[in-house]
Structure 1
């Protein structure tokens, strides 16, 4: 019976199934507003595939690397244990969070149980992701061209052209897609036609990032570019390429300012936003001002509950109380949760929970540090920067995007079952 199952559920077949479910996760990131369950189907399917391998073949493929995958699972346990600190009326919100954060349990477990995916399948998944970003960018560009004046005006009022998924998460995906295209161009085994297509994709997505003009996307774009510049100078001594890159990063914003009204208007809106920080009532209309006051309200809670926080489920009530008490000029509709993952966690889990989260989230980066991992560095860079302006891991798309691509690059660092000649995209 065991031999029959093993001959049916061969590693090759399970790898194809895992790749198909990974593809569903990637596609689901872009259609979650229409098929909300699609990313979840991919995550559950990948988990079942990995569990099938482990049961049928009676082994855990990456047993010795349990700390790398277990670190993410510990973050899930932080959310679970926060239930000890929840007020009874908010227990339904607590259970919703436990379900929302399930990828922190299921995805690391799946990648731990299943042997490393073949290089070709990994590369195809990255190509699928780049293709999905391009398709979504084309849809948004089409909308912009059909509503030029309306969209340009929106950018003066802290609004952005429609995107799928939401503009903040999508701008991060654009940065990663540009980085992935550059990495595949530099080290991937690409036919000549695909090579030219990847080059055109990287250029056009870089321009689109500036037309989209989302602050988080632009910051991560230049941060990843800066990391690449440092690597070219310090690690590979490729000074000429570093000079070319520096020139592009300097010229691109100047060209974009002249070329894209959205970029100009976002620049104007940001300057106006920053000038209103001292006006409490401006939080009702200016997004940056509202974020500043959310940090101030959060700090009051942190001072009162420094060690274990107030729990994520109780945070909304506690923040509203601080707004009413200290900032009565801000309308209830403008109350924000702190748009910073670390401050968010300090309020929810206190200094103890946030310290444990930080150690666990960044441990895989330390594990991978001795090796050359451009895609892992890019993903960690942009996700970490997004933490400074968003609670990235508290939405379905933000959590799935951040975690899945970290694990996909970690998977590429693992030794495959069969020797490979191809470069593994990490």
Structure 2
């Protein structure tokens, strides 16, 4: 029997190789489109899912089945979604429960599809090209937003057009800040993977892209995004050390980053001024004091609501479909009119999951990050570890797995990097240890 895991995609024109090449490009195009348009990325995902499933059903029995990660891993990544299915059975609001399952569908669809891809089309996964495509999509998206802000500013004269939600009107600023930081991690990989001796002709392009992404991140004015900036910076320093075994490149990059960070602090005081507001809010926030319109104050109120609900339903939560109603009832009791009018969630995925599924659901969510992070650490796959830390940190401030923009981003890149971690793939990112 032919071992397809040893065949190259350019070996011929058979149906198998054509399908494998199509899958590879669908994955790359999806990475490009995720930061550009939600609907188009959903359509591409459906095409990818349908194509893989149909081909496997028609021809799967004729091919060797050698998945690059175990069935246990597939179950682990699917368990969070399966727990929400269980939560439907003790929910009263079935319509919202089914809607929530629809939003989170990528959490089980991507693990299943990548499990099949790794088994039948192992050569179709090119994580390097996928990361480059995503970074390109983020750069294109940021350029479009800046151009739109320039047009709006020329009409209104409002400098606020270049900041936060006015700048990123198609995506939540915190979500897009997550995309930007991931793009910086991707550019870091491209830079160091292509420029082992730091002398490639692409070095200037990578450097300009990194600086542009940093500036755009500052303009987004996301507090979580600016704090997350530490992850690509540390990743850059670590890989510089691994590649050069010298302190000089690390010192040079540190000085360079300190320069652009200090410069941006003075050029864009609006973005960094939000941290002063946070400190003041934390000092003054009480049940009857604080600025209800300030995001930090509002988050603290939402977190308190989530903790109250969790104390009443500690093990299984209120159910997948009754989360929204539970929050609205608490907002009414506590007089949180802003939360009630905007129908806000917990703005913390760990608390949001705890309210829906109890501590059981929280444990499952934590394991879906902890287990692969341990694997990434053991195998030296620092790009995957950086991704997991980035998402896990941002879940502290946003319920990102309650919205399509967050679900698809996490589910897609989690499986791209995890599958690459466990198999022989094209252009794998830099590792300090062999697999």
TM-score category, normalised to shorter length = 0.7 to 0.9
Deviation at 1:233, TM superposition (A): 6.7
Deviation at 1:305, TM superposition (A): 0.6
Kindly indicate whether the alpha-carbon contact (under 8 Å) linking 1:310 and 1:347 is maintained by their aligned counterparts in 2. Answer: yes
Within the alignment, does 1:285 sit opposite 2:293 as a pair?
yes
User: Residue 165 of structure 1: SS of its match in structure 2?
Assistant: coil
Are the structure 2 counterparts of residues 194 and 330 from structure 1 closer, same or farther at C-alpha, using a change threshold of 3 Å?
A: closer
1:350 corresponds to: 358
Are the structure 2 counterparts of residues 7 and 350 from structure 1 closer, same or farther at C-alpha, using a change threshold of 3 Å?
A: same
Within the alignment, does 1:174 sit opposite 2:180 as a pair?
yes
Task: State the alpha-carbon separation in 2 of the partners of residues 257 and 364 from structure 1.
Answer: 36
Kindly indicate whether the alpha-carbon contact (under 8 Å) linking 1:290 and 1:336 is maintained by their aligned counterparts in 2. Answer: no
Task: State the alpha-carbon separation in 2 of the partners of residues 146 and 267 from structure 1.
Answer: 29
Task: State the alpha-carbon separation in 2 of the partners of residues 299 and 50 from structure 1.
Answer: 47
Deviation at 1:249, TM superposition (A): 4.4
Are the structure 2 counterparts of residues 64 and 33 from structure 1 closer, same or farther at C-alpha, using a change threshold of 3 Å?
A: closer
Task: State the alpha-carbon separation in 1 of the partners of residues 186 and 58 from structure 2.
Answer: 29
Which residue of the other structure, out of 81, 92, 95, is the alignment partner of 2:95? 92
Within the alignment, does 1:68 sit opposite 2:101 as a pair?
no
Which residue of the other structure, out of 332, 344, 347, is the alignment partner of 2:340? 332
Are the structure 2 counterparts of residues 28 and 42 from structure 1 closer, same or farther at C-alpha, using a change threshold of 3 Å?
A: farther
Task: State the alpha-carbon separation in 1 of the partners of residues 42 and 69 from structure 2.
Answer: 33
Task: State the alpha-carbon separation in 1 of the partners of residues 207 and 59 from structure 2.
Answer: 40
Return 335-344 or 185-194, whichever deviates more. Answer: 185-194
Within the alignment, does 1:321 sit opposite 2:329 as a pair?
yes
User: Which structure 1 residue ranges, 5 or more long, are not aligned?
Assistant: 1-5
Deviation at 1:137, TM superposition (A): 0.8
Within the alignment, does 1:17 sit opposite 2:25 as a pair?
no
Kindly indicate whether the alpha-carbon contact (under 8 Å) linking 1:25 and 1:39 is maintained by their aligned counterparts in 2. Answer: yes
2:4 corresponds to: none
Q: C-alpha deviations, 1:30-83, integer Å up to 9, x for none?
A: 344554742542452464267358715444331652222321111111111111
Are the structure 2 counterparts of residues 330 and 183 from structure 1 closer, same or farther at C-alpha, using a change threshold of 3 Å?
A: closer
Report the count of equivalent residues: 415
TM-score (norm 1): 0.85
User: Which structure 2 residue ranges, 5 or more long, are not aligned?
Assistant: 1-11
Which residue of the other structure, out of 92, 96, 109, is the alignment partner of 1:106? 109
User: Residue 114 of structure 1: SS of its match in structure 2?
Assistant: helix
1:87-166 pair list within 5 angstroms = 87=92, 90-115=93-118, 117-118=122-123, 121-148=126-153, 152-153=159-160, 159-166=165-172
Q: C-alpha deviations, 1:284-314, integer Å up to 9, x for none?
A: 4211111110011111111111111102311
Task: State the alpha-carbon separation in 2 of the partners of residues 329 and 165 from structure 1.
Answer: 25
Kindly indicate whether the alpha-carbon contact (under 8 Å) linking 1:339 and 1:388 is maintained by their aligned counterparts in 2. Answer: yes
Kindly indicate whether the alpha-carbon contact (under 8 Å) linking 1:47 and 1:109 is maintained by their aligned counterparts in 2. Answer: no
Q: C-alpha deviations, 1:323-364, integer Å up to 9, x for none?
A: 111235656314521111111111111112211221134322
Task: State the alpha-carbon separation in 1 of the partners of residues 168 and 35 from structure 2.
Answer: 13
Deviation at 1:91, TM superposition (A): 0.2
